[in-house]
Amino acid sequence: MTGMTAEHAEIRVDFHALKSLLSDIFSRYGTSPSTADILAANCAGCERDGAISHGIFRIPGYVASLRTGWVDGTAVPDIVGVSPSFIRVDARNGFAQPALAAAARAIDGAVESTGVAIVATRNSHHFSALWPDVEPFARRGLVAISFVNGLANVVPHGGRSPVYGTNPMAFATPVAGAEPLVVDQATSVMANGEVRLHALANTPLPPGTGVDSDGNPSTDPHAVLAGGALNAFGGYKGSSIALMVELMAGALTGGQLSFENDFGDCVGAQTPKAGQLLIVIDPRRGGNSQFAQRVALLCGRLLDAGQERLPGERRYRNRANAERFGVPISEEKLFHLKALAANGT
């Protein structure tokens, strides 16, 4: 709590206090109380885990989308069980996270009765990381895979103009005796939030990250953000993964494709109106009751082979630190958040 004069003095804020502050902001900009709590827990959780490109850095984008009416913060999702295993969710132009929460009971029922839930969500705005969606399933011994599409800002391999969103995919599995194994990655070379962090810091992007508005390679984050686009990771193979995510999340759900997003009059809105496909599987139905032990065996082998760390490990370390000492945040940012919550302008 020292250093009031330093512009970027970092302090540590209690996680629940941060969550509560963010919930106030969401409420003030027109979300329902339950949606405010869900988004706040998600956003504060990203900040806590060090996933800062999906943390409070996103608040202005959320606020702009809410203020302009681009997203409906009070949407009540429509949940339809189309089969014992298949759940169709219309988020009704609301956020994806409350839609997922609203489907929780249906998902549990499907997994319990058939060992699998296919959750096809459309008309949903997903503006956060994907790991918060899948990690809870792994904590309960389930396997979860999720695909989300977004705003068209990734060029297909060999192409010159954007078609795909950064189209993240995530998967989570239980690990015997350890935290769940959680992978969450954009299919672009870099996540869009990271490009924006580069733009804020005025630092160049690594070569191969993206193209400018003419489709030519560029390392300028501003050029990539202003009419340019990112590349898919891993050449044509990564581009194919982006294609799969686009079709699963945007088409199979009955949602929008990334290139169909059009903000129209909603100037400043940032959240993508897209879709999400979530697959939850109970591994006990798969033929090995010791699934989590098998995952642990594989994880050990990866470290034996020289892999530096397991996916998600850094997040868990940040989380443990934040739970002990608070979430690190600059006083300046905290000041702005408090102003947003108080003024609502």
Distance in Å, CB of 99 to a second copy, minimum: 13
Q: Is 76 in the site for a second copy (CB under 8 A)?
A: no
Residues 6+ positions from 129 with CB-CB distance below 8 Å: 46, 51, 54, 168, 184
Can you name the residues that pair with 278 across neighbouring β-strands? 119, 146
Residues 16-75 that bind a second copy (CB under 8 A): none
Name the helix (H) or strand (E) containing 171.
strand 169-175
Catalytic, out of 23, 27, 53, 218: 53
Q: Which stretch binds a second copy (CB under 8 A): 10-18, 19-27, 131-139, 183-191?
A: 183-191
Judged by CB under 8 A, does residue 209 bind a second copy? no
Q: Which 259-278 positions form the footprint of a second copy (CB under 8 A)? A: 259
Query: Is 302 one of the binding residues for a second copy (CB under 8 A)?
Result: yes
Task: Say whether 8 is catalytic.
Answer: no
Segment 229 to 258, residues that bind a second copy, using CB under 8 A: 233-235, 237-241, 243-244, 246-248, 250-255, 257
Nearer to a second copy, 86 or 263 (CB): 86
CB 169 within 8 A of CB 290: no
Of 15, 70, 127, 171, the residue at the interface with a second copy (CB under 8 A) is: 171
Q: How far is the CB of 93 from a second copy (least distance, A)?
A: 15
Candidates 69-77, 290-298, 324-332, 335-343: pick the segment binding a second copy (CB under 8 A): 290-298
Q: Which of 68, 93, 161, 330 binds a second copy (CB under 8 A)?
A: 161
Task: Give the residue among 69, 82, 161 at the shortest CA–CA distance from 120.
Answer: 82
Q: Where are the alpha helices (DSSP H) in 49-177?
A: 59-67, 96-102, 104-114, 131-139
Q: Three-state secondary structure along 175-227?
A: ECCEEEEEEEECCECCCHHHHHHHHHHCCCCCCCCEECCCCCEECCHHHHHCC
Catalytic residue chosen out of the listed positions 47, 194, 239, 258: 194
246 is catalytic: no
For every residue of 4-29, DSSP letters joined together read: TTSTT-EEEE-HHHHHHHHHHHHHHT
Residues noted as catalytic = 53-54, 194
